[in-house]
Amino acid sequence: MTLCKLRDLQSEFIDLSCEFARKLSTPTNKVGSRDVIAVLEKAICDEEALWLLRSRSVKAEVTVDGYWTSKHEYAKREVVERLTNRLHDLGLPAEIVLESQGANARQDILLTVKKPDGSVGKRIVLEMKTGYALDFSQLERLMWDNDIVVLIRASTGHVTILRSRKYDTILTESLRNRIGRVRRLIEGRAYMVQGRDCFGCTNESCPCLRRRARPKMVVLGNDDFDTDIDAFLRTLPSAVNRAVESVIRETSSEKT
């Protein structure tokens, strides 16, 4: 599957999302294509997705301890400072943008590598994870938008490179699945899917509703906090160095 074909599927998915958004919009409820894309990713049940889009209701969010946000911002800063110094030392031209919004996903650190003639060579994203959760749907969307995704798990020391071309099969099949789902919904053929999401569904009229999840604060216990902060501070330097050197190798290949 060529990169061109992947782009064609992306365009088709976005066009269908726009069409579905227009169909759902009313004078008092303006639905956008990004709303459609975001809700369909969060809700596997068609009926719940329709409810969320029509009512503009949102699931109860978990209030997160600011510790996690601080870790994430600190880790990103360590990566950017190390990366910019290495790029400068080697005289490698590149542009760096933090928290940039791509067509399908927000990117922690976007590095645009330039060719000798000044044109764009590669788009490399560094995605920082400072907890233990991992969102494969997010990784998929990042690969749709970029050539390379460098995934960094700070507390575990994991650093891996995901090349979009290598995973074109799963990327294209996933897009086809999403295209099929939007087409079904445009045609008015929704399927109810029961599961754990029923516990947090806000559609009070749904017969499968079990109970509404209430927002809660997630805070580590003392022992878990000690373990987590120790692992983070011990493994972050090596993870940052490995991630940056991986990017430098990719950047250097565009120099010639």
Tell me the sheet residues that pair with 41. none
**Is the per-residue pLDDT at 63 higher than 80?**
no
End-to-end C-alpha distance for the chain, whole angstroms:
27
Q: pLDDT tens, 151-198?
A: 999 888 899 999 998 998 899 999 999 999 999 999 999 998 888 888
Kindly state whether residues 177 and 106 are assigned to the same domain.
no
CB atoms within 10 A of CB 90: 11
| Helix, strand, coil percentages for the chain (3-state, nearest 5) | 55, 20, 30
Which tokens is 102 given? 């791509």
**Is the per-residue pLDDT at 143 higher than 60?**
yes
Instruction: Judge whether 207 lies within some domain.
Output: no
Question: 203 with 48: CB under 8 angstroms?
Answer: yes
Kindly state whether residues 81 and 103 are assigned to the same domain.
yes
Three-class SS of 204-232: CCCCCCCCCCCCCEECCCHHHHHHHHHHH
Instruction: Judge whether 210 lies within some domain.
Output: no
Kindly state whether residues 28 and 71 are assigned to the same domain.
no
Tell me the sheet residues that pair with 160. 151
**Is the per-residue pLDDT at 21 higher than 90?**
yes
Kindly state whether residues 79 and 120 are assigned to the same domain.
yes
CB atoms within 10 A of CB 145: 20
Which tokens is 90 given? 């080697």
Instruction: Judge whether 203 lies within some domain.
Output: no
- Cα–Cα distance for residue pair 121/125, rounded to 1 Å: 13
pTM: predicted TM-score of the whole model, two decimal places: 0.80
Range of the domain at 133: 63-166+216-252
Domain total of the chain = 2
- Reference 244, options 111, 73, 104; nearest CA is 111
Q: Residue 78 in 3-state DSSP?
A: helix
According to the model, what pLDDT value does residue 7 have?
A: 81
Instruction: Judge whether 243 lies within some domain.
Output: yes
Which tokens is 58 given? 């949102």
